[in-house]
Amino acid sequence: MSSDVNDYEPGVLRIFQSKGETKAYYNKIAKVYDLLAERSEQPMREKGLQKLAPRPGEHILEVGFGTGHSLVELARAVGPTGKIFGVDISEEMVTLTSELLQREGLSDRVELICGDAETLPYDDNSLDGVFTSFTFELFDTPEIPQVLAEWKRVLKPRGRLVVVALSKEGKQGITMKAYEWTHKHFPNLMDCRPVFVRRAIEAAGFEIRQVDLEHMWVVVEIVLAVKP
């Protein structure tokens, strides 16, 4: 498949906010994020975690961990012999998640950093899995191949990637059109936009294993892929 982003992301809107503006936004809403999004995102996130199927002893990275709910589940799944890593752009999300992990008694299994997923501080071929939910669509279109290349670099051969994201696949109704209009004209209110998830992952050289199209109030794509 072509590596030209315009070939596999036709019609996808650009991201109109800078990384600094995105960080400031999530720092601002961190304490109320679950009230805003948890009810709709949690079922989709759970389906993604089921596809990832973390096992005891594995080393797994979550990109864009937000308030930390998936990190808790991952840490429990890999057990005391495993290790979970988390990267998030928001300092406030890191603080909230650190507090959650302490309350759950899981801090020793999880290593958090505040940073950008385009450049990861992990060795080549070192991780069994990479998981991300409702973060992939925050990367600007030209950044997507760079991000996927970095995730591919840190995964072991046959390592698993699961992405849960807003999707342009399937029927795009009036709700999606309104969503995209809001993102284009008021990006400070709607900072992400739907993308073609499977197409981008496949173009990055991953082998696609499963693709599900689910529905919140918009279409959500859940993709399981492996590094060759």
Residue identified by tokens 């199209």 is 213
Segment 145-162, tens digit of pLDDT: 999 999 999 999 999 999
Would you list the domain boundaries of the chain?
Answer: 5-226
Burial classification of residue 32, based on how many CB atoms lie within 10 Å of its CB (0-12 exposed, 13-18 middle, 19 or more buried): exposed
Q: Is it the case that residue 1 has pLDDT exceeding 50? A: no
Q: Which of 150, 154, 145, 159 is nearest to 202 (CA)?
A: 145
The predicted pLDDT at position 162 comes to 98
221 close to 212: Cβ distance less than 8 angstroms:
yes
pLDDT 10s digits, 163-215? 999 999 976 666 666 667 666 666 665 667 899 999 999 999 999 999 999 98
48-80 pLDDT, tens digit each = 999 999 999 999 999 999 999 999 999 999 999
Amino acid at 141: T
Secondary structure of residue 113 in the 3-state scheme: strand
Strands, sheet with 83-88, edge to edge from the N-terminal-most edge strand? 110-114, 83-88, 59-63, 127-133, 155-166, 219-226, 207-215
pLDDT at 83: 98
pLDDT class for 11, splitting at 50, 70, 90? confident
User: What is the spatial distance between Cα 177 and Cα 55, in angstroms, rounded to a whole number?
Assistant: 40
Residue pair 94/114 in contact by the 8 Å Cβ criterion: yes
Please give the Cα distance from 100 to 103 (Å, whole number).
Answer: 5
Q: Of all helices (H) and strands (E), which one includes residue 152?
A: helix 144-154
- pLDDT tier, 37 (very low <50, low <70, confident <90, very high otherwise): confident
Report pLDDT digits (tens) over 84-116.
999 999 999 999 999 999 999 999 999 999 999
pTM of the model: 0.91
**According to the model, what pLDDT value does residue 80 have?**
98
Q: What is the DSSP string of 3-62?
A: --HHHHSTTPPPP-S-HHHHHHHHHHHGGGHIIIIIHHHHHHHHHHHHHH---TT-EEEE
Q: Which CATH superfamily is domain 5-226 in?
A: Vaccinia Virus protein VP39 (3.40.50.150)
d(C-alpha 173, C-alpha 150), whole Å: 34
